[in-house]
Amino acid sequence: DEQILAASQKHPIKPLDKGQLYKYGTAGFRMNADLLEGVTFRVGLLASLRSRKLGGQAIGVMVTASHNPAVDNGVKVVDPMGEMLEQDWEKFATALVNAPSDDDLVKTYNKLATDLKINLNIPAKVIYGRDTRPSGHTLVTALAAALDATKTEHVDYKLLTTPQLHYLVRATNSEGTPMSYGKVSEAGYYEKLATAFVRAMKGKKIEGQLVVDCANGVGGPKLTEFLKYIPKDKVNFDVKVVNDDVLRPEVLNLDCGADFVKTKQRAPPSPKPRPGVRSCSLDGDADRLMYYWVDPETGFFMLDGDRISSLAASFIGELVEAANLKDSLRIGVVQTAYANGASTNYITQHLRLPVVCTPTGVKHLHHVAQGYDIGVYFEANGHGTVLFSNDALSTFKNTSPQSPAQKDALDTLSAMADLINQTVGDAISDMLMVEVILAHKGWSLRDWAMTYTDLPNRLVRVEVGNKDLFATTDAERRLSSPEGAQEEIDYEVKKYKDARSFARASGTENACRVYAEAATRSEANELAERVARIIE
Ligand code: 16G
Ligand code: ZN
């Protein structure tokens, strides 16, 4: 107790304005970095408790604010299999961080240990990494102080993408077991991906150059490092890494990156886009991915998370069929309400795969995707992955093929399962997946874009007095309060053809978001504005 008290005094918590509380939200704690030193110290205490609660398994802590401006930072906790912190524990994190004094902090810590029946004398382990934000140094120092004060073994992996930390957590906890996820090192991550990439490519040729915008974040140096692991004689992958300046912190996510591309619906202005060139953008911690090209005739065209999801579902569906496993493996696709209706139609009607809608936030999608043998999930913003169950993995391995085509499909499926990050959405791994699929199908981005036509849509942010008044049901597609609001929305939606609209409180900002889609662009705009007026 003395040690925690003394250490906490060196990393004090800053009180927030007028009775506001810190909250462990969809992305952990995320805000201006100046507020985060004490927060990160306290998250260290939580991670240590969590490790002891789970018998000393390694817990991860990632310090990043993803696509936010460079002055922000954030801290979030990763569970032993590389998943997001169990939801029940978010409130314990919130309780620790909001303890008003150092004394109260120690009391809260001890009370949690008692209530949760945690033995504080057993070993604990925490591993951590950070993105390129300069504030990361101070924050991991505070984190390490909490881990020392609680006698928690810890490993500092320094600069990492978020998905790399998730990989390392799972690799650490599965080391030496039959379910080993890979070598416990950053190099192990690259080796696993490179080997799987070569296996999945099966000698297919990748057309032309791929330009990768790294948002001037940690993805830049990590992608460059990864590329060294690809054997040139096996796969000729011509990648041009751009926006990879991590020495000037102020350019992080500035006019580039996946979030810029998705929200501004255009290519990063720099470097000047070359017409027709296949391009993609990662976000600041490399867990989101957007593909796009600038067409000499029709202009900018973006392939977002919905497109990546339907591409993955289509390819994997075909492989499962070719492997003769259609009747033994259940494939499902998980989306949120933001998924374009045209993508949902394409997946259900053309690919004939089931689609489930969940509330926004990776943890919800991930959880539902785990219910399938092969669960494909992506948010429209480009975060997502494909999960393979243990059953699926052993089926790929143990099925004896009756034909060369079946063997081919089984091999490719098994390579895809190694290539695709099983812990969380991973922009580098997802990018390799897309490249494999395009090479197999012999598709350009234009061919990919032709699979269906998006419904025109519009997203607006609405300032509201108190966003907490807005509650939703039906995976955020309907408002349950304020009373009467949903009826008014329904009334407006009915006036348009092929229209859909919903409003929800943002989980990351003090505002509401309204989404609308309709048969034409002007109708989608008009509907969005009408619904915005209802909830204003
Ligand atoms: C967070 C979520 C992201 C979601 C976004 C929505 C995680 C790791 N991140 O960034 O998945 O799309 O919030 O933000 O879950 P909003 O609630 O402000 O619309
Ligand atoms: Zn991110």
Q: Are residues 6 and 150 in the same domain?
A: yes
**How far is Cα of residue 93 from the mean position of the Cα atoms in its chain?**
21
507 annotated to bind ligand:
yes
- pLDDT value of position 507: 86
* C-alpha 286: how far from chain center: 9
Q: Cα Rg for the chain, rounded, in angstroms?
A: 23
Cβ–ligand 1 contact at 26 (below 6 Å): yes
In a domain, 123, yes or no: yes
Last residue of a domain, one of 432, 449, 466: 449
> Which of the ligands is closest to the CA of residue 258?
2
Position 401 in a domain: yes
Tell me what pLDDT residue 199 has. 98
Q: What is the ipTM of this complex?
A: 0.96
**Cα-flanking dihedrals φ and ψ of residue 24, to 5°?**
-75, 100
381 has binding-site annotation: yes
263 pocket-lining for ligand 1 (C-beta < 6 Å): no
Residue 509 has pLDDT above 90, yes or no: no
318 and 235 fall within a common domain: no
On the question of pLDDT at 236 being above 90, the answer is yes
Is 287 annotated among the ligand-binding residues?
Answer: yes
Q: Is residue 352 part of a domain?
A: yes
Structure tokens at 408: 């081919």
Residue 135 is predicted with a pLDDT of 98
Q: Find the ligand nearest to 363 CA.
A: 1
Same domain, 366 and 400: yes
Residue 440: pLDDT over 90: yes
362 lines ligand 1 (CB under 6 A): yes
pLDDT at 121: 97
Q: What is the CATH number of the domain that holds 506?
A: 3.30.310.50
Residues 33 and 108 in one domain: yes
In this structure, the answer to whether residues 125 and 21 fall within a common structural domain is: yes
Report the pLDDT value the prediction gives residue 219, as an integer from 0 to 100. 98
Q: Which residues are catalytic?
A: 66
What's the 68 CA to ligand 1 centre distance in angstroms? 12
Number of domains in the chain: 4
260 and 315 inside one domain: no
Ligand 1 within 6 A of CB of 56:
no
Q: Is residue 171 part of a domain?
A: no
Q: What is the pLDDT of residue 508?
A: 81
Distance 382 CA to ligand 2 centre (A): 9
Distances (CA, A) of 230 to 86, 196, 202, 209: 36, 10, 14, 15
- What are the φ and ψ backbone dihedral angles of 100, each rounded to 5 degrees? -65, -30
Please check whether residues 419 and 486 belong to one and the same domain. no
Q: What CATH number does residue 361 fall under?
A: 3.40.120
* Percent of the chain scoring above 90 in pLDDT: 98
Residue range 446-460: mean pLDDT, rounded: 96
DSSP 336-375: ETTS-HHHHHIIIIIS---EEEE-SSHHHHHHHHTTSSEE
One domain for residues 260 and 289 = yes
Tokens of 102: 């150092």
How much is the pLDDT for 32?
A: 96
pTM of the model: 0.97
Ramachandran class of 456: left when φ > 0, alpha when ψ lies in -120 to 50, beta otherwise: beta
Pocket test for ligand 1, best of 23, 26, 287 (most atoms within 8 A of CB): 26
> Same structural domain for residues 16 and 85?
yes
CA atoms within 13 A on the CB side of 243: 32
Q: How far is CA 497 from CA 306, 347, 478, 520, in A?
A: 22, 21, 19, 9
Helices (DSSP H) in 370-403: which residue ranges?
A: 390-398
Is the CB of 360 inside a 6 Å radius of any atom of ligand 1?
A: yes
pLDDT exceeds cutoff 90 at 392: yes
Could you list which residues have their CB under 5 Å from ion ligand 2?
66, 283, 285, 287
Tell me if 235 is assigned to some domain: yes
Question: What angle do helix axes 219-227 and 186-201 make, rounded to 10 degrees?
Answer: 60
Domain stops at, among 398, 432, 449: 449
Structural domain contains residue 323? yes
Query: DSSP E strands: which ranges in 263-364?
Result: 278-282, 289-295, 299-303, 331-336, 355-358
Q: Which domain holds residue 431?
A: 305-449
Listed residues 245, 272, 302: the one ending a domain: 302
Residue 381 Cβ inside 6 Å of ligand 1? The answer reads yes
pLDDT, tens only, 301-324 = 999 999 999 999 999 999 999 999
Q: Locate the ligand 1 atom nearest the alpha carbon of residue 513 and give its number.
A: 19
Same domain as 288, residue 194:
yes
Structural domain includes residue 179: no
For the cut 90, the answer to whether the pLDDT of residue 19 exceeds it is no
Judgement on whether residues 328 and 288 belong to the same structural domain of the protein: no
Give the CATH number of the domain where residue 280 resides: 3.40.120.10
170 falls within a domain: no
Is 506 known to sit in a ligand binding site?
A: yes
Q: Which ligand sits nearest to residue 283's alpha carbon?
A: 2
Shared domain check, 297 and 316: no
